[in-house]
Chains A and B, each alone.
Chain A
Amino acid sequence: MDLTLRALNRFGLGARPGERGPISDPRGWLRGQIGGAPPALAAPEVASPTAIAEALRAVRAAGQDQAKRQEARRRLVAIALAESRACLTQRVGTERPYVERLVAFWSNHLCVSAAAKLQVAPLAGSYEREVIRPHVLGRFEDMVMASAKHPAMLIYLDNFQSIGPQSAGSKRARGNRAQRGLNENYARELLELHTLGVDGGYAQQDVQELARALTGWSVSGPGEPGAGAAPAMGRRRAAQNGGATSAAERVAFAYRALLHEPGSRTIVGKRYSDEGLAQGERTIRDLCRHASTARFVATKLVTHFVSDTPPPSAVDRIARVFRESEGDLRALSGALVDLTEAWSPDARKFRTPQDWLVAVMRAFGVKDVDEREVAVLRQLRHPLWSPAAPKGFGDSLQEWADPDSLLNRGELARTFTRRGAGRPIDPRELLEVVDVPPADPLRTLVADASIPAADRVALTIAGPAFQWR
């Protein structure tokens, strides 16, 4: 087993030809990547806050008019496409692939999904850029807090329209048909999927109490649909508070005090007095610091970086680092590199479709990502920011290595090589990027000049060795 390839493929996003040679200390190479500020990513031109707001406004204005809906949809899709290309370009070209893998991991942990709601499509890329990326080497609770306040999450899991039944806004709106009440969707997933985990020690009562604490956490600007009487009142108040001064220009977080459920709340055994916005903020920070959260997050990280069956010793160690560092993600990322279990010969992970495609492009030395790659991810049922459920995409063998997918990768490999990678690729140089045992039949195939070179390249990236990281 080659430790440098392990660092490049397991922790990184796939080795590039020539990249392995200069790395003398694989662990040091990884640790070097997590020093300093995380790499920033600029918004694509078509995905400016103004453009996103305009696109969402167009959706609302279209109503049931089919032609206008089509047009509005096209704008949303154009933004989502530009964001997908920017994200994939970053992954393909980065010199800090470990950090980019961490961005992808956390983005999926706190996922939003364009597959569930059309309005999320133009916001998902900005969500990753604004919520995940800045905190990827920072504190877990800051990332979760940023997530809780991002329009993409507020819309995706419905919290923007959750209204305290006893709030002043709700009482005034009685009898109004558009009136809505409490929505538990986000509160439930915050407990179950983002922090404590499903067995983390909370009950249905905690879900409802947390939902009440988070009432009033909403969005301003065109992201906010169904302007009934109650939200309208809240909106004015938010504007007066200065919370939504730029409401016309961008979709943003807005706290609507009038829609907040009054009273103190008891959540997972702790009492939170009613301090408006601060009630929810304090709850979220406490949930992030909970011992169940440390264990839940540690299990998920070790599963991602070590094995589908995470060794308990490794989970214990990562959970302890999480608790002792109070969720310092830089410390946690370093601790993952230090896990002996991650470097053991029998630990391996099956590449998800995103992993596989990015690794192929890195192996080919491709720089430009275009619409075709985005389409390929759709075909492999792993498009960016579009999981079927709030749990996010899985990363296990069972989830991705179904027979049809293996065949699909075989076909795509042939398609890529027939299309040409932009430059001629010597199949032998690909043996540098994939860990192939000395007696593996791939070595014989790659050296067999009677097979067309393009086919030998296709067989390398479609074959089993390349499916693992």
Chain B
Amino acid sequence: MNRRAFVRTMCQGGLATFACPLVTFAQVRQRGRLVFVLLRGGFDGLAAVVPHGDPAYASLRGALAYEEESLLPLDGTFGLSPGLAPLRELWQRDELVVLHAMAIPYRTRSHFDGQAILETGIDKPAGSADGWLNRLLQVMPGSRSGIAIAAGMPRSLSGSFDVQTWSPAKLGVVDDAYLQRLAVLYRGDAALSGRFEAALHQQDMVGEEPMAGSGARRGGIAPLMRAAAHILREDGGPNIAAMEFSGWDTHANQGLAGGALDRLLGQLAEGITAFRTEMQAAWATTTIVVMTEFGRTARPNGTRGTDHGTAGAGFLIGPNVAKSQVFADWPGLGDSALYEGRDLKPTLDTRAVLKAAIAGTFDLNAAQAGRVFPSSDNVKGAYHLMG
């Protein structure tokens, strides 16, 4: 018996003795899907979403300035960098909101603090706060579940709501006979049997195919996003997924088209479009949010890179956004407009976007969204971004 058949037997034939944990019939099942993609390291919003129309742009960016012709035009001011060109289709289908001059609510240039703020959704560092995705699971109605598609449990999903994790496993070392015997042992343990079956089930959803090649092991973005889609598109699959990619801390030689950062952006764009395709029908209820802990300095540094800054860019993606648009209260790049004379000035709070994303994806009201982001009463959700 191959693994797929084996798991199917376990989950269907075994329902009399143990419930398959991914399906709960007692409550109405949540249909929405939200994928939170964290770009760890502080990704350079000015290199990804290029404000070529800003009069100060070319001189400010110097060696890192793009020619307008090389960009994918969004409007008169902004264009996407060459690596992000695969997102063109999303833009044309009214599925892409480009966010800019956006920042977390707390001013820090520390990765540690910045990621903690973004992932807890609190407005200042708090040692023991739950992640906001976990709070979202606590607040959401209906039958729902969350999963971390990452090597560890990201802070954003940590908390009292039980969530799953999945990372590309080296299942080559285990065969079905071994797994089957292990499953028999686990069936005798009431506290663990459901969890073990869930693991087999997830593994079955992913199958062998999407992880083919060594890309995922090296942290390639597209294979992991494809695998994520295979888990999320299932009926009754997880509603919330946290994913994370690193490599964005570009202090040196970030380059232009074809350079280090542009190649990484290309992987990201490829991953997003592959995810969209693999979600199949489930894409209709799916939203992706892409964010980072901080933007980078507006000017290049002495090593053709950029240092830790403040505001940056992000993306809100899915068929349920109101329309494709650049959403930014653009502060400008003139010397006097820069935050502390060096960074893009923040004019948009990450929580305004996140509130809109969760409300639009899961039919939450403003009060519920407010419980996911405590102490955010003064931050109005940008609800009009979602249709």
A residues near B (Cβ < 8 Å) are 64, 66, 116-117, 185, 188-189, 192-193, 198, 379, 381, 388-391, 397-399, 401-408, 410-411, 414-415, 418, 440-442, 445, 451, 455, 458-459, 462-465, 467
Contact = CB atoms under 8 A, between A and B. Distances in A.
Given A404-B169, A404-B202, A64 B251 contact: yes
Interface in B154-190: 155, 158, 160, 162-167, 169-171, 173-174, 178-179, 181-182, 184-186, 188-189
Contact of A411 (B158, B173, B185): B173
Nearest to B22: A403
Contacts of B182: 410, 459, 462-463
Contacts of A440: 188
Given A64-B301, A402-B165, A403-B195, 9 more contacts: A188-B127, A402-B163, A402-B195, A403-B164, A403-B202, A407-B200, A455-B178, A458-B178, A464-B189
Nearest to A418: B173
A117 B115 CA distance: 13
A456 to B, nearest CB: 9
B268 interface: no
Given A410-B182, A441-B185, A445-B181, A193 B127 contact: yes
B207 interface: no
A315 to B, nearest CB: 19
A310 to B, nearest CB: 16
Contacts of B200: 407
Contacts, number: 117
Contact of A407 (B151, B169, B302, B303): B169
Contact of B252 (A66, A381, A403, A407): A66
A149 B197 CA distance: 48
Contacts of B203: 407
Contacts of B112: 116-117
Interface in B180-238: 181-182, 184-186, 188-189, 191-193, 195-200, 202-203
Interface of B: 112, 116, 125, 127-128, 151-153, 155, 158, 160, 162-167, 169-171, 173-174, 178-179, 181-182, 184-186, 188-189, 191-193, 195-200, 202-203, 251-252, 301-303
Contacts of A117: 112
* Interface hub of B155, B199, B202, B303 (most chain A Cβ within 10 A): B199
B195 A410 contact: no
Dominant SS among interface residues on chain A:
helix
Contact of B164 (A185, A388, A390, A402): A402
Contacts of B174: 410-411, 414
B162 A398 contact: yes
Contacts of A397: 191
B192 A411 contact: no
A441 B184 contact: yes
Contacts of A64: 251-252, 301-303
B53 to A, nearest CB: 31
Contacts of A459: 178, 181-182, 185
Contacts of B181: 445, 451, 455, 459
Contacts of A410: 174, 178-179, 182
Contacts of B195: 401-403, 406
Nearest to B155: A388
A268 B20 CA distance: 50
A414 B252 contact: no
Which 7 A/B pairs are nearest by Cβ-Cβ distance?
A403-B199, A464-B189, A381-B152, A463-B185, A407-B199, A403-B198, A404-B165
Contacts of B192: 401, 406, 464, 467
B169 A389 contact: no
Contacts of B198: 403
A116 B252 CA distance: 22
Contacts of B185: 441-442, 445, 459, 463-465
Nearest to B252: A66
A402 B149 CA distance: 12
A29 to B, nearest CB: 28
Contacts of B162: 398
A404 B196 contact: no
Given A404-B199, A410-B179, A414-B178, A391 B166 contact: no
Contacts of B153: 381, 388, 399, 402
